[in-house]
Every structure is written in structure tokens, then in C-alpha cells.
Amino acid sequence: MDTEALKQQFQQLYAEAVAHGLDPNDAVAQALTRMHEKSSVQEPATVHDHDMSDSGNQVQPPPAPMAPAPASVLTLAMLQSGSLSMSALQKIVYEVFSQSETLNAACFPNHSRAEIQEGLAWLVGQPSLANTLGNALNSWVTQPWTNSKKWTSTESLHQFFVMLEHPLLFDPDYRSIVGGMVKLMYYLTDDMKAALAAHWRSLGADDLHRLLDVFQQYITLSLVGAELKMDTIFAACDMIRLLVEINVDMPFASYDAFYNDAANTELNLLQDYVKSAIYLTHKHGRISSRELSDLSFCDFAFILDAASKSKILQFDAEYQQNVRVHDSIRSSLAEADQHVHPYLVLRVRREHVIEDALQQLVQVATSEQLKKPLKVKFIGEEGVDEGGVQKEFFQIITRQLLDPNFGMFIADDETRTLWFNCDSYESTTEFELIGVLLGLAIYNGVILELHFPSLVYKKLMGLPVTLHDLEASQPALGKGLRQLLAFDGDVESVFQRSFELSYEVFGQVKTIELVPGGKDMAVTAANRDEYVAKYVEYVTTTSVAQQYGAFHRGFHFVCGGHALELFRPEELELLICGSPELDFEALEEVAHYDDGFSAESPSIQYFWSVVHAFSLDEKKALLKFCTGSDRAPIRGLSNMVFVISRNGPDSDRLPTAHTCFNHLLLPEYATREKMKDRLELAITQAEGFGLL
């Protein structure tokens, strides 16, 4: 059939379709389909575009397509009509889904998301189309990734809007298609990525969760599979990064929903650290451009949980220490530094722990030295520090420094959390010492019994503090400010406040202006937002600038650096204070037994039977009785040393504990009932041996 005949046939079929009530897009599709069905096996002749004359009021079709005739438009109506033979449909499906151009222009154009989903569901429900659709999509995702840089209009994103609705994205057989798709998305220009994220912002929480699950599953299947393709794994991480940014403004998932279990269990963290920007900055002083496959999970820290990040922090500390030693040996001070001590050693008197520790720590010249493993020696006492003396040191010094009676901190009556005393008589050096101690505890894996509010960890990470944070730490004050903001009435006459703040110090009322001239500036409905903002700023920042500033300085002297930036405030709190997740089955698996006990001893079996039946509060009490803390190490109870020793035959004596060594001393109770009674009494009425 010649060109003119093709044109006439197309025009006739198009006009018939419009006459039957189809819209122009569907009319084009039906006309093309009928042309395909009527055509022979041979390829039709090429059709050249030219202008078509106007024929009065007759409906005029668009120009006939170039031959070989592409499917042009795939619509839901076309699929639902049932007018297409399977061979014709296979040809259309392949042509539409095999190229970005046809996916953008011809795959369910001007359809709603629901219609696109319905159309895709129809397609995947046809067994005869499975291979055709799979082959087409494989062709689509194997195009050169450089094509992504050429897509500069939002219309070019339609291909991704359609394919991200595909119901088989969770099918393991579609893994290569998902991988190819995320790589194409990764190489989009920044403007196009922003447009992609803008589209995602229009989705609901469930749809955003589905996207997150698609990318997470791809990463998981890729990491546990036989062939690692790090470029597409990191491309998927980058798509999750867009979702993390959306989650800040439009929360749809908790921060730990972005963790990837496979990355945290299967990954060689040391190898990942060596590829990271953190390491490269240390080694080369700068970061040159890196290929996608050369990135690191540290570049996508939201994927890593707090335990993984703590390992990376440790790797970073060890690397800095090694560099320091190496540089010292090569320097002119080589002779003096030949005997660099591998430990940070503190020698303190038990009665003067704060004074002695402070005097020695202020002499430490570099943060690298503070990252060394800590050894503590109590002067006049025997014993080698294998961890227990170090833990005892932290327990003594933090208990003294944080005691509200010491005057450095004030405890909130409701939450019992501690906040900096802005009127403390202690020098800033003591506050700096606390910051240093927090850093030392991190690098030595010691859990501290701290009661700081969450806003302390936000400030340590350089994040802004809000009224919500103040409400969590000082509920009564926060509630009053919130009521002021919500009041629907005459604020000035009812609240009768000015831009000043008053509080009592040693029986004297102290008044502070929140702004210059604040005592003469009434709080009104118009300025109450400013008043609350200034109030929060004063309480959380201005009033404690000296005290908190010293604390911040001490902490960052030890821990500051790019590795710390991997952490969220919540993760930093876990790192310092331990995890509230208590897996006592894991603790049983790693427990050691001494002085005649074994895992098969009846008393040990009674013990674990009783413990596993405890309530959560009872388990926390037992853990605190045995270790000095009711929290687990950041990597869980499976990473804790726990020893149970036989402490004599059956008797009425209560269990005791060396908390510094996580050591429980247990008489060989003859029955389970007696074990339960003695344990419950011990954990409710005693604290073990405490600092022994």
C-alpha cells in the first residue's frame, strides 16, 4: 500500500472512531490498532508528514504517523474495549514500554493515577503479555543513562510516574528493572529530581510508604544476592534520600523506617568506611568527584542504624589515632614519641575524682588522644582495669557532677530530667569536663545513667530547638506557653504579660527582659508568637550560653568531626545512654557461668525461667541491679558481657551484684519459687554491690 493509500485509510478509520464517540486520543489508538490488524506481515511503507487540507466541518484527524506505525497511544479504554487481538496488543505494548519517548507520550496519557493503576493491573493480568512487557521494560532500562541528562521537561518524568505504579515492582523477577529505573532517575538533573520530589509530595502517606518499600526491597535483594551492583544500590539510596527530605516536612514514617536491615547486617562496615567521604577527607584533605559505584553508605546515613554508625565512629577514631602516631614518629619529635602509650590513663583518688580527672584531662593536647581506650587507676588501690574500674569511674564522677545538690543542674519536678543551672557557681571548666566525659564514654562503650532531655542531643547536633522540645523537658512551662498561643480572646488583658521573664534564685526573684525595653512591651495576640519564640530561645539557649557552651565544647573536642554528623539526635542519645530494647533471650545466649554453675544447672534454669516471665519493668530493674543501667548497649544485650556465679549453697540470702563487671552472684536456690521470691526482693530493695 502506497503512502497516499495509508494516509486515506488512517483518516477514514479515525473519522469512524470519532463518529462513534471516542475522544481524539482514543480514536488515534483505535485507528492505529485496526491498521495493524489489517496489515500484512511485511512492514508498511514509510508515510511522510504533510499538511492536510481543511474539509469544512468534517472532523480532521492529526497527521498520519511515520511508518512503521508506532502504537502511539495506549489507553485504559483501549484495553477495556476488548477489540484488540493478542498479537496486536503485544506489538503495541512492546512499542510503548520499550522506549522513554513512547512511555512519556503514549502510555496512559492524561489518565489519573487510579486509571494508570487499573491499566497496569490489566496488563500484568494477561499471561500472554508477561514476556512482551518484561522484554520491553528491559529494553527501556538498559538505554544509556546519559539520556537522563537530556530530559529537561516535566513531561519527560511521565515514564517514572507510570512505572512506579507498576504492581510487580515487588516481584524479585523485576529486580533488574527496578535497578535500571532508579539508575535512570539518579542521573536526572537536579531540577528534574526536584520535580520528581514535588510530584511525590502530592501523594499520601501510604503511597510514600510504598515507594520507600520498593526502594528498600531492591537494596535488600541486591545486598543478599549473588551479584552486587553497587551503582544501582546507591541510586536506590538516593531515591530514599528524596523521601527522607519529604519526611521532614510531611512526616509519613519514623526515622528508623529508613534503616535497611540488610545493609546493617550484611555490610562490611570497615570497607564502607574506607570508601566514605569521612575517610577520604582525612586522607586527602578533600573529596574529588566519585562515580556512583564508588559511593558509600555513609553518604546515605539514614540507611544505617545507630549500632552501625557507632562502629564507623570507632573506625574513624582508630584511624585518627594511627595517623597521629605515624605522624609523630616521622616528625622531629620521633624520639620522644617512640613510646606513645596506646591508652589514655587516668590516675585518680577516690575521694577527689572530679578534681583529679579535671586536672589530667585539661592537659590532653589533642582529641585523638582522648579517643584512645581509657584505663583508670584508683590511687592506693590494687587491680588492673579490665573495664570494671573504668565503668566505676564513670559511675562515680557522673553521679557527683549531675547531682542537683552539686548545683550544676536543675531537675524538672515532673520529668526529672536535668537542665543546666544558669546561676551555677561552678566554673565552666566543670561543664566542659562533663562534655569530655560523654565523649570518653562513647569511645569506651560505657553506658551512662544520664537524664538529659532530648533537646540536649538536638543542640549537640546543631539542630534548632522548638517549643515542642521545651514541652518535652519542662511540661508545665511548655503547656503555659502553648495555651498562650492557642487562646482565643483578649490576650493582653487576660494574661497581662510583658516581654520579660521572672524566676526565683535563692529566695530572690530575678527578672530578665526578653527584648530591649521588654518590661514596657505588652504581650498581645499580634506579638505572642514572637514572645514565645524569645522565651524558648532564652530558656534553652541565651540563659545557659556559658554553661552549655562549655559542655558543647568539651563534647565536640572529643567527638567532633564528620563521623558524628552521621547521627540523628535520637541515635546520639542511644549511643550515650544505651538502648531501651531488651532482648533477654539474646542475653541468655551470651551469658557466662562461674564457680560451679553451668547452663544446665537447675538454679540457672530456674533463673532464666523466672526472668523471661518478668514484666518489662521487672526486667529493667534486674538489668539495673546487675549492670548499673536499665538500658542495653547500643548493639543490644547480645553484645554485653554477663556473668552469673554460684554464691554458695541454697540459703535465704538475697542475690548480689558487682555492677561494674555485670556480675551477678546467685546462691544455689533449690526451687523456682524461691528463686523468684529472692530475685524480686533483691531488685526492688537493693542496688547490688554498686561500686565494688
CB 367 within 8 A of CB 558: yes
Cα–Cα dist 67/32, whole Å: 11
Of the candidates 107, 559, 626, 660, the residue annotated as catalytic is 660
CB 368 within 8 A of CB 321: yes
CB 127 within 8 A of CB 178: no
CB 337 within 8 A of CB 329: yes
Let me know if 559 is a catalytic residue.
Answer: no
Nearest to 101 by CA among 162, 163, 158: 158
Angle (CA) 544-548-553 rounded to 5° is 150
Cα–Cα dist 15/31, whole Å: 9
Angle (CA) 529-244-289 rounded to 5° is 115
Nearest to 650 by CA among 666, 665, 669, 625: 669
Cα–Cα dist 151/651, whole Å: 80
Residues in the chain: 692
Kindly calculate the radius of gyration of the chain based on its CA atoms and give it in whole angstroms: 34
Helix/strand/coil for 266 = helix
Residue 373: is the preceding peptide bond cis (ω within 30°)? no
- What b-and-e string marks burial along 418-454, b requiring 16 or more CB atoms within 10 Å of the CB? bbbbbebebebebbbbbbbbbbbbbbbbbbbbbebbb
Cα–Cα dist 444/442, whole Å: 5
Find where cell 565552666 sits.
428
Q: Catalytic residue numbers?
A: 660
